[in-house]
Chain A
Amino acid sequence: MYRAGVNVGNAGVLGAVLKSDSTTILGEWLALQIAESNNKGLIKDAELKTQAESFLAVFNTAVQENPSESLQGPAWDEVRTFLAALSRSRAMQGFSPSETALFVFSMKRPLFAALRAKIGDDSGALADALMLATAMLDKLGLYTFEAFQRGREQVIQRQQQELLDLSTPVVELWDGILALPLIGTLDSERTQTVMESLLEGIVQHEATIAIIDITGVPTVDTLVAQHLLKTVASARLMGAECIISGIRPQIAQTIVHLGVDLGDVITKSSLAEALRIALRKSGLAVMPSVKAQG
Chain B
Amino acid sequence: MDRIPILKLNSNLLVTIQVELHDQLAITLQDDLTEQLSRTKAKGVLIDISALEIVDSFIGRTLAHIASMAHIMDAATVLVGMRPAVAITLVELGMSLKGVHTALNVDKGMALLARLNADELML
Q: Which chain A residues have a beta carbon within 8 Å of chain B's beta carbons? A: 195-196, 199-200, 202-203, 206-208, 230, 233-240
* Contact residue among B83, B88, B92, B108 (Cβ-Cβ distance under 8 Å from A208): B108
Contacting A at CB under 8 A, from B74-113, are: 79-80, 82-84, 86-88, 90-92, 96-97, 102-105, 108-109
**Cβ-defined partner of A239 (8 Å) among B90, B91, B96, B109:** B109
Chain B residues positioned under 8 Å from A235 (CB to CB): 87
Task: Tell whether, in the assembled complex, residue B108 and residue A238 are in contact, meaning their CB atoms are under 8 Å apart.
Answer: no
Min CB distance, A225 to chain B, in Å?
Answer: 14
Given A202-B104, A237-B86, 7 more A-B residue pairs with CB atoms under 8 Å apart are A206-B104, A206-B105, A206-B108, A230-B91, A236-B102, A238-B104, A239-B82
Which residues of the other chain, A, contact B92 by a CB distance below 8 angstroms? 230
Kindly provide the distance from the CB of B95 to the nearest chain A CB, expressed in whole angstroms.
Answer: 9
Instruction: Name the residue in B82, B97, B104 with the highest tally of chain A Cβ atoms < 10 Å from its Cβ.
Output: B104
Bound state CA distance, A237 and B50, in angstroms? Answer: 12
Which among B84, B91, B96 is the interface contact of A200 at CB below 8 angstroms? B84
How many angstroms between the C-alpha atoms of A203 and B83 in the bound complex?
8
- Residue from A202, A203, A206, A234 in contact with B91 in the complex, judged by beta carbons closer than 8 Å: A234
Instruction: List, in ascending order, chain B residues with CB within 8 A of A233's CB.
Output: 91, 96
Cα distance A234–B85 when bound, in Å?
A: 9
A267 CB → nearest B CB, Å: 18
Selected contact of A237 from candidates B91, B105, B108, B109, CB within 8 Å: B91
Among A203, A207, A208, point to the contact of B84 (Cβ < 8 A): A203
Which B residues lie within 8 Å of A206 (CB)?
Answer: 104-105, 108
Q: How far is the CB of B51 from chain A (nearest CB, A)?
A: 14
Please determine whether A234 and B84 come into contact, CB atoms closer than 8 angstroms. Answer: yes
- With beta carbons under 8 angstroms apart, the residue of A195, A234, A240 that contacts B104 is A240
Chain B residues with Cβ under 8 A from A238's Cβ? 82-84, 87, 102, 104
- Closest A residue, CB atoms, query B103: A239
CA gap between A238 and B105 in the complex, in Å: 9
The answer to whether residues A239 and B102 also contact, given A208-B108, A233-B96 and a CB cut-off of 8 A, is: yes
**Please, which residue of chain B has its CB at the minimum distance from the CB of A202?**
B104
From B80, B87, B102, residue with most partner A Cβ within 10 Å: B87
Q: How far is the CA of A240 from the CA of B108 in the complex (A)?
A: 11
Closest to A241 in B: B102
